[in-house]
Structure 1
Amino acid sequence: MDPAAAAEVVREPKIDEHGRAYATGRRKNAVARVWIKPGPGKVTVNGKDVEAYFARPVLRMILEQPLVAAGRKDQYDVICTVTGGGLSGQAGAVRHGLSRALTNFEPELRGVLKPDGFLTRDARVVERKKYGRRKARRSFQFSKR
């Protein structure tokens, strides 16, 4: 496919009957379902306010990275439900889902979010434990006698 044909691909916004855009985000074992709609910038996670759910400021910073990069900080209300994993993985899953939802709402934001890696699913997961080992890679302690 030549670059001229790729430039002609026009993406349509995917908005439901309630005026929301939906996307799923994943990170480690966490899965986030994210809806965004135009509003004053209220973020709700699992029915709680974002400050109550993600108490650490670093996690809230991870969450708002796509909005800041796109310059849409207080323009969208974000509602999300997150399951699985720990808080760090859940924050990453919400960031991934939020980035995808933004591109569904405003397809032209893809060029802003893609170079920063917000649309890429982070494939790093915990390595499984192997038999004959204490952990995934750690061996049992060697004893000569």
Structure 2
Amino acid sequence: MKQQYNLLLADDDEDDCDFFKEALDELLLPTSLVTVNDGVQLMDFLSESGAENLPDILFLDLNMPRKNGLECLTEIKQQEEYRNLPVIIFSTSLDRDIVDLVYGKGAVYYIQKPGEFSKLKKVIGSALSIASESNFKQPARENFILQP
């Protein structure tokens, strides 16, 4: 595993962001977390970071104001400087059509937000370890959804 993971969480739900941060803290993994609250902020953050300072992983919520996660994913994968940014979809819903769509657009994994803190911790830990082991390459479709 890498020395430290720089994570970016794009989610408009403040409670979800807090839970995510707490779960990371309890995992005791060497990470730093930046959060943005909508898709416009996300794209601004990426363009201000520049290609050499991109986060190691982007956790992306689908339902956000101003620009949703699907629009952001599409935009990220169309731009040369962001194309290799690993995106893990982090959403409340688990709609098969949407899952297929984001898989086709190049997301690395899909996590349905668990309601329980212990499961959230487990699935974030799994995501970081699996993603780093596979060198952030997209898995086969049947392994795309990460379960806690």
TM normalised by structure 2 equals 0.28
- Greater RCO, CA 8 A, separation 6+: 1
TM-score norm. by structure 1 comes to: 0.29
